[in-house]
Every structure is written in C-alpha cells, then in structure tokens.
Amino acid sequence: MMRISYILLLAIVATLTQTVATHALWFSSSVGWIGPILPACVAVCMALYSRSAVDAALAGWILGFALELPLAGETMGVLSLLFAAGGATIYTMRDAFFRDRVITQAMLGFLFCLGIFEISVLYSRVALPGSARSMGAAALQVLLVAIYTGVFTPIVCAGLKPLHHWLWPAAVERR
C-alpha cells in the first residue's frame, strides 16, 4: 500500500523544484515558454508503480493540487481533478505495455501531459472567455511542453527508483 505521507513530501519537493529551479531548463519559443512539468513526470511514475487505481488517482490528485497551489488562485481545482483522472488512466493503461521501458515511460509522460494540459487550456477558454490567445498556439505550446515532459519522465522515474521501498513498502515488481 502506498504511503501517503511520503507522497505528500514528494509532491511538495516536486512542486518546489518545479517552481524555483526548473526555469533553467525552459526555453522561449514563438508560442511561449517551453519547459518540463516535473509533477506530471512524478504522477506518471506513481501511476506506473501503484498497486491500485485509487492509489494512482490519489497520488495524481496530490501532485496536481500541489502544482496549482503556489501562485495561481484562478482555475484552482481543475489540475488536481485532471491529474487524479490521468493517474487512474495511466494505471489502467500500463498493462497494455509489454515492459516497463524508458520509451514506455516517455510515451506515457507525453500522453499524460498532453491530455491534461490540453483539457486544462480548453477549460480556461470556456470558463474564462475573452482570451486573445489562438487555440492553435495554445495547443502547440502544450504539445511542445508534453514532448519535453515525456523526455524527462524516464529520468524522474530513474531518480525515484531508490525511493520505491519507502513509497510502496511491498512494491510489486512489474513485468
């Protein structure tokens, strides 16, 4: 069973790192800033090694909430909800992949980020009308951010490997 206290700690560390340190990896493009989203990488790793869909969703919710907590009061609640749904989806999808390989992690990280942030952009468009930003530019920015996050996901998963016995005391080895 997953240890919630460690997940909370991990979410805080991931969010703080994302907010204060990952900007060195960002680059500017014609559609805006492109950078990896660390809590999304962690949520994918959690979903890959969780023992139940509920655990994966719970970890996703905590990470999503931690990401939207620090600065943006607006649209609060959306990311946590989407991260929870994303975590549960990755959990149910993971068996479709034959082995837990780097490419699998990268692919799932990409899909997770793409799905969640495209929906989040769409929600912002509907809930906060009057945005001057074209949907195409926003979608392209999310796509590039998702690719970057996908590249980072295997690195984060490898970094979390030594913590497996703390996060999941009786971790089940994946095929």
Partner 1 sequence: MRSLGRRTKWKRPTRKAALTGLILLSLVLIVLENTGQRRIPYTLSHTLRPVLAPLGEATIYLTSHIAPAPMTNDERQAEFSAILVQVKQVINDQQQRINELRHWRDAMEGFPCLLIDGHVTVREGNPLRELRLVDVGDNRGVRPGYLVTTRRIVTPYENELPKGLAVLGSNYIIGVISDSAANTATVQLVTDSQFQMPATLYRMLAPGQQRDVFVSTPSGGLEKKTVTHDGSTAGSYPVGEPIPVLAKGTGKQIVLQQVPATHNIQPGDLLTTGPSTTNLLPIGLTIGRVVDCRFESKDPHHVDVYVEPLADLSNLENVYIVMPASRGTK
Binding site for partner 1 (CB under 8 A): 12, 15-16, 18-24, 26, 28, 30-35, 37, 52, 54-55, 57-58, 61, 65, 67-78, 80-81, 84, 117, 120-121, 124, 127-128, 130-134, 137-138, 141-142, 145
CA dist 160 and 164 (Å) reads 7
In terms of CB distance, is 92 or 131 closer to partner 1?
A: 131
CA dist 165 and 147 (Å) reads 29
CA dist 61 and 57 (Å) reads 6
Residue 175 beta carbon to partner 1: minimum distance, rounded to whole angstroms: 25
CA dist 55 and 60 (Å) reads 8
Residue 101 beta carbon to partner 1: minimum distance, rounded to whole angstroms: 27
Among candidate residues 132, 90, 128, the one with its CA nearest the CA of residue 109? 90
In terms of CB distance, is 73 or 162 closer to partner 1?
A: 73
